[in-house]
Amino acid sequence: MDIKTKVIHAGIHPDSATGAIMTPIYQTSTYVQDSPGKHKGYEYSRTQNPTRHVLEKNLAALENTKHGLCFSSGMAAADCVIKLLSPGDHVLCSADVYGGTYRIFKKVYERLGIQSSFVDFQNQSNIEQYIQENTKMIWIETPSNPMLQIIDIKKIAQITNQKKLLLVIDNTFATPYLQQPAPLGADIILHSVTKYLGGHSDVVMGALCLNDDGLYESLAFYQNSCGATPGPFDSFLTLRGIKTLALRMERHSENAMKIAHYLQEHAKIDQVYYPGLKDHPGHQTASSQMRLFGGMLSFTLKEDTLQSAFKVVEKLRVFKLAESLGGVESLAGHPATMTHASIPKEERIKTGVKDSLIRLSVGIEDIEDLQQDLEQALS
Ligand SMILES: *Cc1c(COP(=O)(O)O)cnc(C)c1O
């Protein structure tokens, strides 16, 4: 089945009791049993809920994996993956990652004995030198946040396969419509469902997709033991959002490409970071592992100051200044003071997050309206 059909149908069946075409919202915490232990597959909604279950089946099908697990946020999903590790273990991460990912490793798990280091993964040839005796996991984001760096998933998977390390890919920016890391060799795919999968800025949720049965059992055990699971109404909203994922990602990508070209020609712009541009260093790799280049892009101003970036984002009207991304509406963000404020300035500058860097989540509005909004804000 093609993914354009899967987003609408995979894992979803008409309700057996009524024929309802939409998955019902099973707003219940518990389930009646015929005799102790004799039930219909559901005992308690932290462990499993029918609405969430359908969403997990749907997500697994989209990522071409056997299993899916949903969480109350993307960070709860990340937290569950890190619980696979023990004190003394080490994780090697790509340097340009979501600020919260950096924070959970450095501010939460380092204290509990889990070591992490952050290195530039764009040049795969020097990755092996950073793998330590105690390295158990490699964690990468591609395209990355906010620099839109591209990492060759297949090449990294060759290394992790050979060295028996777990490869975790945060696929939030691409979504399974644009990129499927499992067939390329990734072990665990992580999503902030809050972003493109939900797609309408009305749900906070996370997900993991994977093939390995043993890993799935461990993760499901930690999920149920620690309890960061999403509610049935959010699961329903997400199932509804995913139905238009293919259409939305097509338009997000088309609009972002046009805006990237427009900004590149603008006199006040210094650099534009978008993997769809031919001069982007990851363009070749992105073309081979992605269907289209997505809706996220970043740019810097020639006048590289916090003040000039503030002036631009304050003047935008159609683009709204807000954290988050991936909804139908266009958003602008200032990583240095917003999403990446928890990263020390030296670290931030090293990965390219300059003072004037502005990140756009290009929505699905009319392209002329978006372009005119940028034009008036920049002038
Ligand atoms: C937002 C985001 C997260 C965290 O997800 P939440 O749902 O906000 O907890 C993780 N990774 C990436 C790439 C993100 O954009």
- The yes-or-no answer on residue 98 being catalytic is yes
Ligand 1 pocket check for 115: Cβ under 6 Å? no
CA pair distance 340, 334, nearest whole angstrom: 9
CA pair distance 251, 85, nearest whole angstrom: 39
Q: How far does the centroid of ligand 1 lie from the alpha carbon of residue 31, in Å?
A: 32
Give percent of the chain with pLDDT exceeding 90.
92
Pocket mutation for ligand 1, best pick of 102, 175, 178, 195 (most atoms within 8 Å of C-beta): 195
Give me the amino acid identity at 103.
R
In sign, the C-alpha dihedral spanning 140, 142, 144, 149 is: positive
Ligand 1 pocket check for 359: Cβ under 6 Å? no
- The yes-or-no answer on residue 195 being catalytic is yes
- The yes-or-no answer on residue 317 being catalytic is no
The per-residue pLDDT of the chain, averaged, comes to 96
Helices vs. strands in the chain: H and E counts, helices first: 13, 12
Q: CA-based angle 159:278:179, to the nearest 5? A: 45
Index of the ligand 1 atom closest to the CA of residue 78: 10
Helix/strand/coil (H/E/C) assignment for every residue in 33-76? CCECCECCCCCECCCCCHHHHHHHHHHHHHCCCCEEEEECCHHH
User: Which one of the listed residues 52, 195, 348, 354 is annotated catalytic?
Assistant: 195
CA pair distance 301, 188, nearest whole angstrom: 37
Domain spans, the chain: 3-242, 246-378
**Superfamily designation of domain 246-378:** Aspartate Aminotransferase, domain 1 (3.90.1150.10)
User: Which one of the listed residues 42, 46, 106, 240 is annotated catalytic?
Assistant: 46
Residues forming beta bridges with residue 35, ordered by sequence position: 38
Can you give the pLDDT at residue 253?
98
Can you give the pLDDT at residue 67?
98
Ligand 1 pocket check for 231: Cβ under 6 Å? no
In sign, the C-alpha dihedral spanning 30, 203, 73, 22 is: positive
User: Which one of the listed residues 89, 170, 187, 234 is annotated catalytic?
Assistant: 170
Q: What residues of the chain score a pLDDT lower than 70?
A: none
Ligand 1 pocket check for 170: Cβ under 6 Å? yes
Ligand 1 pocket check for 238: Cβ under 6 Å? no
Closest CA to 318 of 358, 258, 371: 371
Radius of gyration of the chain (CA): 21
Ligand 1 pocket check for 79: Cβ under 6 Å? no
Can you give the pLDDT at residue 346?
87
* Residues 71/206, Cβ–Cβ less than 8 Å: yes
Chain centroid to Cα 43, Å, comes to 31
**Helix, strand, coil content of the chain in percent (nearest 5):** 40, 15, 45
pTM to 2 decimal places: 0.96
Fold of 3-242: Aspartate Aminotransferase; domain 2 (3.40.640)
Can you give the pLDDT at residue 40?
93
CA pair distance 49, 27, nearest whole angstrom: 9
- The yes-or-no answer on residue 369 being catalytic is no
Pocket mutation for ligand 1, best pick of 171, 192, 193, 324 (most atoms within 8 Å of C-beta): 192
CA pair distance 38, 248, nearest whole angstrom: 43
- Lookup result for tokens 């092996």: 128
Pocket mutation for ligand 1, best pick of 70, 145, 168, 296 (most atoms within 8 Å of C-beta): 145
User: Which one of the listed residues 98, 177, 216, 222 is annotated catalytic?
Assistant: 98
Q: How many CB atoms are located within 10 Å of the residue 112 CB? A: 10
Can you give the pLDDT at residue 215?
98
